[in-house]
Structure 1
């Protein structure tokens, strides 16, 4: 079971390939706030709802000085198809080995339809400009997620 991050913890660094196979590092965003969110699988109903919610609110988030990065265990080709189908305009990153998911506490045991399974724990983090965790949210709901973040973070 991976350890859960809390506010004040250093955000675990990563460099992952995006949907086009180009490396993207968390350090590339130092000096700006970053929402890093983890989702189970591209092109599934809940993950599509969540990604489109970020897409639809991206301009306002960017204006508030916040970048968005989405991470799943999907391969870059699947992420590219998802991005293109949904018109997503923020980086989707591939973590097929689940190393980053595990480091962030977003992979482990969870309840799914009343059963305990091992998988991606839908999670969202706000990383501060200095690279520390400003807020960590685990087991988030896909629907209405960005509106809740905006309320919680006073955006």
Structure 2
């Protein structure tokens, strides 16, 4: 496991609240929307067989570029890099628990995502919904900041194209992968 990214003091950052924006997703079929991946592939989450985990996040910052004004005070905005690093660090464990595919998802341009994936040494691809096609087709929760439409933070477990589990709100972000691991562990334990 790699050294985790230094996370901020989460007690100083407002936590998001469950506004019900993802309740209708459990059991829903994923919309057939091709998404550009950082590895050059085009991915349609509705067509992937097996178990897929997708963690959605607002935006990964770039070194030397300031986030939008007030970023840290937007509930749920801060923490994209610690969340991605957490999934990176739990990647092998997720695979061992039956995850066939793991993806990050944001509305950032693919070039920004590629930079983050390379810098953070992610062993999985990040998907771009920059044109907001999946956001609109699935009515995914978003917020506006700095003139951008960004995804609120949530995680989907998808099984054969249908949403099996939704984690929302996600806080603190660096615990997101552990939450998924714990949920999967309980589902894969033999019955007594």
User: Following the alignment from structure 1 to structure 2, what is the Cα–Cα distance between the partners of residues 27 and 132?
Assistant: 7
Structure 1 residue 125 corresponds to structure 2 residue 156: yes
Q: Across the two proteins, how many residue pairs are aligned to each other?
A: 146
Q: Describe the shift of the 1:6–1:73 C-alpha distance in structure 2 as closer, same or farther (beyond 3 A).
A: closer
Query: Does 2:34 align with 1:11?
Result: no
Aligned to 1:76: 110
CA distance in 1, matches of 2:38, 2:163: 25
In structure 2, relative to structure 1, the CA distance for the partners of 1:109 and 1:79 (3 Å cut) is closer
| Alignment equivalent of 1:37, drawn from 55, 69, 75 | 55
Structure 2 gaps of 5+ residues are 1-20, 63-77
Q: Could you tell me which of 31, 49, 56 is aligned with 2:82?
A: 49
- Comparing 135-144 and 82-91, the one that deviates more: 135-144
Q: Deviations over 1:39-87 (max 9, x none)?
A: 1002376111010111111111112221211111111111111011100
Corresponding residue for 2:177?
146
- The TM-score, its normalising length taken from structure 2, stands at 0.66
Distance in 2 of aligned mates of 1:14 and 1:63: 28
Q: Which runs of 5+ in 1 are unaligned?
A: 113-117
TM, length-normalised to structure 1: 0.81
Considering only aligned residues, what root-mean-square deviation do their CA atoms show, in Å? 2.5
1:62 aligns with 2:81: no
Quote the residue 1:95 is aligned against.
Answer: 129
- Which residue in 2 is equivalent to 1:137? 167
**Bigger Rg, structure 1 or 2:** 2
